Amino acid sequence: MVEQESPLKPVWQPGSHGNFAAGIGVYLSESAPGSIVQLAAWAGKEKAVLQAIKAVAGLKLPDGAGGGAPGEARAAFGFAPGKFLVIDEQEGLAERFTQALDIETGTVTDLSHGRTAIRIAGPKAEWVLSKFFAIDFSATAFPIGAGRSTVHHEIFVHIQRSAPTQFELYVFRSFARSFWQALCRASEEVGYEVQ
Amino acid sequence: MLITCPYCGPRNVSEYTYQGDGNRTRPDPASTDQAAWNEYVYDRLNPAGDHHEIWQHSGGCRAHLRVTRNTLTHVVTEVSFARDAGHRKSERHRKPGAHA
């Protein structure tokens, strides 16, 4: 496998920043998973793809729009009709899905090098994300495990809520540095720590 | 203006891309019927009221949607996946060459 290099490296500044005297509002980090794989089911084959996710990744996704399963080692969520994003901290997930899913059922796209995974956690995570995206981040509208696809201006993002105050953002790699800098600026008012 | 995507829920219009009038019927690609192609390319109903449109949720799930939008009030009364519903047959057509 080709060694992955973070696009955030030139602007990466670990430590506390902004208005953190009264406490850290959000913790920002790059989770850098080994695999990010997109699965797309042909019409009527969604159930077969969900079964493949269960067989390969061991994750059971709930029915319904944006349903997902969070996890440290592996996570998955739906982000569009019949389309799912599966994340694994290990490399090689795409090959395993290619073997498990035949072409009549759906397609497998390896995005491991095409997306940058950014984690935002902390008591002010909902507040900071609400400044970027016009969607409801409350726990009732956006439960743990659920996935959403939305945009910040032209920057397309997939979001999964992985814990009560923690979100995983999957951003196009080429936009990731710019997005990261905007995220840092937006986090200044609440105080942030880059980990 | 909000459009309620059947998958994503209510989202701002800035997440969507307008894909055109939903009343058109594309002629058979092999057809040389000039009047039919002229109608497909140029003739629009331009109603003051409910209008059938195709929108893509380009900043979201990327699905193509059939939307009924009121051109006077921007109230969206009906949204469904374009792929589920297929083509909606036009209720009426402007006659080729007719005056407004």
Report ipTM (2 d.p.).
0.87
What are the residue boundaries of the structural domains of chain B, listed by start? 2-26+36-85
CB–CB contact A80 B11 (8 Å) = no
Domains, chain A, in order of start with CATH, read: 9-32+114-194 (3.30.1360.120), 35-110 (3.30.70.1520)
Cα A166 to chain center, whole Å?
Answer: 11
| CB of A21 less than 8 A from some CB of B | no
The beta-carbon neighbor of A79 closest among B6, B9, B61 is: B61
B2-26+36-85 CATH, one of 3.40.190.10, 3.20.20.70, 3.30.2270.10, 1.20.1250.20 = 3.30.2270.10
The pTM for the full model equals 0.89
* pLDDT by position in tens, chain A (length 195): 678 889 999 999 999 999 999 899 999 999 999 999 999 999 999 999 999 999 999 999 988 889 999 988 999 999 999 999 999 999 999 999 999 999 999 999 999 999 999 999 999 999 999 999 999 999 999 999 999 999 999 899 999 999 999 999 999 999 999 999 999 999 999 999 999
CB–CB contact A81 B15 (8 Å) = no
Q: Which of residues 97-116 of A touch B (CB under 8 A)?
A: none
Mutate to test the interface with A, among B13, B14, B15, B84 (most CBs of A within 10 A): B15
Q: Which residue of B has its CA nearest to A141?
A: B9
Distances (CA, A) of B82 to A44, B6, B33, B41, B64: 15, 11, 27, 20, 6
